[in-house]
Amino acid sequence: MTTENPTQDLHKRQMNINAHFAWALAMWASAEAAHKRQNYLLAAVGYYYSAFHSGFAVVNTNVSIPKEKLVQITHSALKDYLEPLLPAGGMWHYELLQGIREGVNYLGANAPEGKLRIVRGNGFVLDLGGSKFTFERGLQMAQKQSLSFFRICLSVIEAFCAKNKIVGPRRGDSHWVTEYLDEDFLLGVVPREGDGLEILKKAASLLQNELTTNPTDAEHVSQ
């Protein structure tokens, strides 16, 4: 039985970081396309999963976590691994997104009669930590907070890649998608026609646009 050396382990982590972060970009761009077309159910789920995969990429920067644990990971395990790796308050964005996604997936925390009223036409109200807001407002928050979480994750990834001299996503890097990930980026998943073109363009441009800024107007549920 052979033992994998540290260089091989680092290379596998590099591949995992890049794959999951690229997948996160695609998830966010897909959610954005759905949001613009008022496909709100898919948008809410997509914004959360963009955070899940960017968080998965970050967890790979902790070399004390055995690589076997990083093949597939549960939502609760990801949160446990992720929280120590982020700056104070960094998990707030993730937990908000998870709350919105769970509210949509499970049709809120209402009693059966409340759930039936929703599908019969009543408005959808999300309740997170005692704060209630409309479904539409929840989507706006999900869009904004998913980008904030992306920026936090990207800072951790950039530092890890620079320290270990490996290729990874970087803000302002116009070559990472086309040169490292290849010109056939997501070819087998996203079609080169219809909405696919918009999704690919948005995913590839995030590092040059939305993720290069650091807004200071972080929004909390209580607001």
What tens digit of pLDDT does each residue of 50-83 get? 999 999 999 999 999 998 889 989 999 999 999 9
Q: Residue 146: which H helix or E strand, with range?
A: helix 135-164
Contact call for residues 118 and 107 (beta carbons, < 8 A): yes
What tens digit of pLDDT does each residue of 72-122 get? 899 999 999 999 999 999 999 999 999 999 999 888 777 899 899 999 999
Angle (CA) 34-35-38 rounded to 5° is 90
Q: What spatial distance separates the first Cα and last Cα of the chain, rounded to whole Å?
A: 57
At residue 134, φ and ψ (nearest 5 deg) are -70, 160
Q: Distances from the Cα of 81 to the Cαs of 18, 21, 63, 158, in angstroms?
A: 18, 17, 11, 18
Query: What does the pLDDT average to over 131-157?
Result: 95
Locate the DSSP E strands across 88-205. 125-128, 131-134
Q: What is the pLDDT of residue 3?
A: 63
Question: What's the pTM value of the predicted model, to 2 decimals?
Answer: 0.91
Q: What is the pLDDT of residue 223?
A: 33
Query: What does the pLDDT average to over 170-188?
Result: 91
Query: What does the pLDDT average to over 164-183?
Result: 92
pLDDT above 50 (res 40):
yes
